[in-house]
């Protein structure tokens, strides 16, 4: 299978989730073996786990906040090489999902390059577990993600993603970030998540969803989206079966670190 890049450049802009300032990025085609690389002012920040500086509310790479939904779109569409120029500190939150990135990338189209993709294949199962949360990656000739979680208020949800681009576009990319109203109020009192609103997140109140979900199980689908985004930080396309229980960015990033140590 050959490496791919975008056929042309494109831009995205909008508010950031945390700073509210207007965030703008330009995504440009890149040559073979370039990988996914962010450019911020004079800094070059490869999309690799070594550059992760924070995983508490999204994945922060270098000084760039919330890269995971853009990276999910790139990884979900199996794009290998891109330059991403970032103005400001954040990736635009858009609607809180990967949908707008995916729509733009698929309308531009992908160009096949001459070199073969450099798949990362596991030799053994890699596992991480902490506080009742667990995530593992097992050797598998393909890519899939099984996620199970029991959310407070909305109850248990599970999703099996079988790894095709078509399924990613239709079933995963539109799933938005979600949050509990109480937690959001607490974050906003600390001056965080100031850009969060019903325009860019699925909100959960005391009795259930406060705005219309796109899927009855939208939160667990977004959990799968976040894993696909965080796995882009391996720097290579992964062949594995991922099984996750209740995990978030911190565990996803730890799994990426352990995978790289295991090969």
Q: List Cα–Cα distances, 115 to 8, 130, 141, 187, in angstroms.
A: 19, 39, 20, 46
Distance between CA atoms of 184 and 190, rounded to whole angstroms? 10
Q: Which parts of 148-177 interact with Zn ion (CB under 5 A)?
A: 177
User: Minimum distance between the CB of residue 211 and Zn ion, rounded to whole angstroms?
Assistant: 17
Q: Which is nearer to Zn ion, 226 or 254 (CB)?
A: 226
Residue span binding Zn ion (CB under 5 A) among the ranges 100-108, 113-121, 226-234, 254-262 = 226-234
Q: Which is nearer to Zn ion, 66 or 81 (CB)?
A: 66
91 — phi, psi (to 5°)? -85, 135
Q: Which is nearer to Zn ion, 83 or 149 (CB)?
A: 149
Residue span binding Zn ion (CB under 5 A) among the ranges 20-28, 119-127, 218-226, 233-241 = 218-226
Distance between CA atoms of 176 and 238, rounded to whole angstroms? 24
Q: Which is nearer to Zn ion, 5 or 177 (CB)?
A: 177
Q: List Cα–Cα distances, 188 to 22, 143, 178, 196, 210, in angstroms.
A: 18, 37, 15, 9, 18
Which of 18, 69, 222, 249 is labelled catalytic?
A: 249
User: Is 249 considered catalytic here?
Assistant: yes
Distance between CA atoms of 177 and 67, rounded to whole angstroms? 13
User: Minimum distance between the CB of residue 97 and Zn ion, rounded to whole angstroms?
Assistant: 8
H helix intervals, the chain: 68-76, 99-108, 165-167, 181-189, 218-231, 249-262
User: Minimum distance between the CB of residue 225 and Zn ion, rounded to whole angstroms?
Assistant: 6
Q: Which parts of 174-203 interact with Zn ion (CB under 5 A)?
A: 177
Distance between CA atoms of 150 and 114, rounded to whole angstroms? 45
Residue span binding Zn ion (CB under 5 A) among the ranges 39-47, 206-214, 222-230, 240-248 = 222-230
Q: List Cα–Cα distances, 249 to 23, 51, 195, in angstroms.
A: 22, 14, 20
Q: How many residues belong to the site for Zn ion (CB under 5 A)?
A: 2
Q: Which one of residues 80, 100, 157, 226 is an interface residue with Zn ion (CB under 5 A)?
A: 226
User: Minimum distance between the CB of residue 25 and Zn ion, rounded to whole angstroms?
Assistant: 17
User: Minimum distance between the CB of residue 56 and Zn ion, rounded to whole angstroms?
Assistant: 13
Residue 230 binds Zn ion (CB under 5 A): no
Binding footprint of Zn ion on the chain (CB under 5 A): 177, 226
Any idea which residues carry the catalytic annotation? Answer: 249
């Amino acid at each position: 299978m050959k490496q791919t890049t975008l056929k042309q450049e494109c831009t995205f802009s909008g508010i950031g989730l945390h700073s509210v300032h207007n965030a703008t990025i330009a995504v440009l085609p890149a040559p073979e073996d370039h990988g996914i690389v962010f450019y911020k002012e004079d800094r070059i920040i490869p999309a690799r786990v070594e550059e992760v500086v924070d995983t508490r509310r999204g994945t922060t790479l270098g000084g760039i906040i919330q890269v995971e939904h853009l990276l999910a779109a790139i990884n979900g569409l199996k794009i290998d090489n891109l330059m991403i120029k970032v103005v400001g500190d954040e990736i635009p939150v858009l609607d809180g999902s990967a949908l707008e990135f995916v729509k733009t990338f698929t309308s531009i189209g992908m160009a096949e390059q001459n070199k073969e993709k450099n798949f990362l294949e596991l030799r053994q199962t890699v596992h991480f577990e902490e506080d009742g949360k667990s995530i593992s990656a097992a050797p598998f000739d393909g890519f899939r993600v099984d996620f199970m979680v029991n959310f407070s208020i909305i109850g248990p949800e599970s999703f099996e993603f079988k790894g095709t681009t078509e399924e990613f576009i239709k079933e995963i990319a539109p799933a938005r970030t979600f949050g509990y109203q109480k937690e959001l109020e607490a974050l906003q009192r600390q001056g965080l998540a100031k850009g969060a609103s019903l325009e860019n997140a699925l909100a959960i109140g005391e009795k259930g969803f406060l705005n219309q979900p796109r899927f009855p199980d939208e939160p667990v689908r977004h959990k799968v989206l976040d894993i696909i985004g965080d796995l882009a930080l391996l720097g290579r396309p992964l062949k594995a079966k991922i099984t996750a229980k209740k995990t978030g960015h911190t565990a996803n990033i730890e799994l990426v670190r352990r995978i790289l140590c295991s090969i």
